[in-house]
């Protein structure tokens, strides 16, 4: 079973040279640590950065320079800064090649819920609704099973939706799935040491398994 | 033309006085303090406040609003500050009636007021928030965005199908914001109201500056007219009505993340 870093490491393999990539908060942020050498990407932060760099060295933090998670960051050579309207303009116009974000639930028809638990957690959607509505290529990074042991890959989301029919790929601690255009989680890879049986038990939505499913390379 | 001939016919000393007066009317937007800048903000008004998290927020004007004690405010701002800083200060004093934001985590008092029903909250997508400000500043009553289609935020909104980039999909009609005042924070500004922002403290400030019926800008450095390079100006002075140099900027960091040398 993969830990958070393992999920991030597997997703990093989806990142291709020359891409503009938006990383959400949580596991997606970790993906930046595993982008292979020789692959050059520009990270977009929706508060207004292209070419975001790592955290600053101690003592070099700048209150005016933060990422979408409000963490202090740095700028790489060749970076640019812009306002929020332009930032979401480039997202809406599909200039950003790849979006990686977390989720509380994903359904077999590609719906995603990740912003609200009625009566419990109401923090807001931030930029998530804009991202999922416009991005052409979204990967969801998530734990497949919640703390109560229930699957988060469902036939239908139970929480308020963030977007509909927008997710095409999910990477979890157990496996990698494509969401097919006509619905269903198609299992592509198993996490190291995970059996098909374990994956079946952890998937509440329609699971499609065709042929021999290989273990993922990390 | 009569007035022109009248001015020309005046003695030189009076003429100079009129020229100085004209110059002041046209370009001097400087007020001396935050208190003066916000003096006509009244109860139940709608304000836009720039900033993302605690980055690029108008600290001086927020403090002045707390001091003035205006109540029943509707605040349009991406976030609601933290418990003891930013808009959190206006929440503590219960001066805010309604928040229009995209993300309001990290604020326990906010959550308490929202769940108890004391505070009205309208959560909207971040890009929609930015674009509704932009639409106001660009003179467009509505914009169409796909954000939120098929979700609860689409309830009661007009949905239209458009073909764009070769794909046909649904878009929500969203209205330009209508606010009494916009309050923004910039790095540098001049008496004509031209503004330059610094780094990611830019965020929502430029489009909110454009969107206010009256726009107040507080800046870290107020410089003489002519000192800013016109090519570097982010917000042209035409959008700004009042400007002052703020003091004692705390610029608090919400998430201090560092690596070791």
Distance from CA of A215 to the nearest CA of B (A): 34
CB contact under 8 A, B258 and A47: no
Strands (E), chain A: 20-23, 42-45, 49-53, 74-81, 98-101, 105-107, 112-113, 116-117, 121-122, 138-141, 153-154, 169-171, 175-179, 185-190, 207-208, 214-215
Residue A126 parent element (H or E): none
What does pTM read for this prediction?
0.92
Chain B interface test: which of A26, A51, A59, A66 (most B C-beta within 10 Å): A66
What pLDDT does residue B261 have?
Answer: 84
Task: Inform me whether the C-beta atom of residue B125 falls under 8 Å from chain A C-beta atoms.
Answer: yes
pLDDT in tens, chain A (218 residues): 899 999 999 999 999 999 999 999 889 999 999 999 999 999 999 999 999 999 999 999 999 999 999 999 999 999 999 999 999 999 999 999 999 999 999 999 999 999 999 888 788 999 999 999 999 899 999 999 998 999 999 999 999 999 999 999 999 999 999 999 999 999 999 999 999 999 999 999 999 999 999 999 88
Could you tell me how far CA A1 lies from the centroid of its own chain?
18
For B197-214, what is the mean pLDDT? 98
The pLDDT assigned to B6 comes to 66
Give dist(CA A218, CA A8) in Å, integer.
10
**Residue A137, pLDDT score:** 94
pLDDT of residue B115: 85
- Tell me the chain A residues in contact with residue B153 when contact means C-beta distances shorter than 8 Å: 125, 129
CA distance A61 to A71: 10
pLDDT-derived band at B3, boundaries 50, 70, 90: low
B256 contact A CB<8A: yes
- Assess whether pLDDT exceeds 70 at residue B98: yes
CA distance A148 to chain B (A): 24
> What's the whole-number average pLDDT of chain B?
93
- Top residue of B147, B162, B195, B197 to mutate, by most chain A CBs within 10 Å, is B147
Burial class (CB in 10 A: 0-12, 13-18, 19+), B258: middle
Assess whether pLDDT exceeds 60 at residue B14. Answer: yes
Cα distances (angstroms) measured from residue B118 to each of A109, B76, B81, B95, B99: 38, 17, 18, 11, 11
Instruction: Take residue B113 and report the two structure tokens written for it.
Output: 């007021």
The domains of chain B, with CATH numbers, are 27-141+176-245 (3.40.1080.10), 143-174 (no CATH)
A46 is catalytic: yes
Number of neighbouring beta carbons within 10 Å of residue B13? 7
From chain A, pick out residues whose CB is under 8 angstroms from the CB of B114: 122
Interface touch B126/A57, C-beta < 8 Å: no
State ipTM: 0.95
Cβ-Cβ contacts under 8 Å between A and B: the total is 180
Read off the DSSP letter of residue B125. -
CA quadruple A24, B120, B249, B29: dihedral sign:
positive
Question: What is the DSSP secondary-structure string of A140-183?
Answer: EE--SB-TTS-BSEESS--SPPSBSS---EEE-SSEEEEEPTTS
Closest partner residue to B101 among A59, A87, A124, by Cβ? A124
pLDDT-derived band at B20 (thresholds 50, 70, 90) equals: low
């Amino acid at each position: 079973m993969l830990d958070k870093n393992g999920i991030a490491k597997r997703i990093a393999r989806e990142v291709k040279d020359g891409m503009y990539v938006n990383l959400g908060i949580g596991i997606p942020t970790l993906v930046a640590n595993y982008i292979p050498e020789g692959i050059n990407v520009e990270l977009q932060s929706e508060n207004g950065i292209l070419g975001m760099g790592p955290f600053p060295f101690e003592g070099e933090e700048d209150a005016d320079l933060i990422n979408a998670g409000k963490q202090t960051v740095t700028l790489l050579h060749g970076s640019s800064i812009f306002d929020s309207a332009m930032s979401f303009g480039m997202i809406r116009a599909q200039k950003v090649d790849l979006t990686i974000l977390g989720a509380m639930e994903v359904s077999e028809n590609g719906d995603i819920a990740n912003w609200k638990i009625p009566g419990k957690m109401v923090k807001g959607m931030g930029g998530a609704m804009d991202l999922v509505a416009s991005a052409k290529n979204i990967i969801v990074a998530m734990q497949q099973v919640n703390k109560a042991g229930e699957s988060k890959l469902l036939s239908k989301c139970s929480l308020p939706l963030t977007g509909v029919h927008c997710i095409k790929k999910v990477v979890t601690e157990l496996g990698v799935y494509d969401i097919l255009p006509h619905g269903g989680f198609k299992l592509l890879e198993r996490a190291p040491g995970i059996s098909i049986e374990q994956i079946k038990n952890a998937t509440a939505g329609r699971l499609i398994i065709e042929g021999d499913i290989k273990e993922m390379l990390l | 033309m009569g007035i022109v001939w009248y001015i020309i016919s005046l003695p030189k000393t009076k003429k100079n006085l009129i020229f100085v007066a004209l110059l002041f009317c046209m370009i001097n937007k400087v007020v001396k303090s935050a208190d003066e800048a916000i003096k006509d903000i009244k109860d139940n008004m709608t304000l836009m406040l720039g900033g993302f998290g605690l980055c690029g927020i108008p600290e001086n004007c927020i403090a002045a609003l707390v001091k003035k004690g205006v109540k029943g405010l509707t605040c349009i701002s991406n976030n609601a500050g933290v418990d003891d800083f930013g808009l959190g200060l206006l929440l503590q004093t219960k001066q805010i009636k309604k928040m229009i934001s995209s993300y309001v985590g990290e604020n326990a008092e906010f959550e308490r007021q929202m769940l108890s029903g004391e505070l009205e909250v309208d959560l909207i997508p971040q890009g929609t928030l930015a674009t509704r400000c932009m639409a106001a500043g660009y003179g467009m009553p509505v914009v169409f965005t796909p954000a939120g289609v098929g979700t609860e935020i689409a309830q009661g909104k007009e949905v239209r199908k458009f073909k764009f980039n070769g794909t046909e999909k649904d878009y929500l009609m969203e209205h330009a914001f209508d606010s009494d005042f916009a309050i923004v924070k910039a790095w540098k500004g001049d008496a004509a109201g031209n503004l330059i922002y610094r780094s990611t403290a830019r965020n929502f400030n430029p489009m909110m500056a454009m969107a206010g019926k009256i726009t107040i800008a507080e800046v870290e450095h107020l410089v003489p007219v002519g000192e800013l390079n016109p090519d570097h100006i982010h917000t042209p002075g035409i959008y700004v009505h009042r400007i002052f140099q703020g003091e004692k900027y705390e610029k608090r960091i919400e998430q201090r993340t560092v690596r070791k040398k």
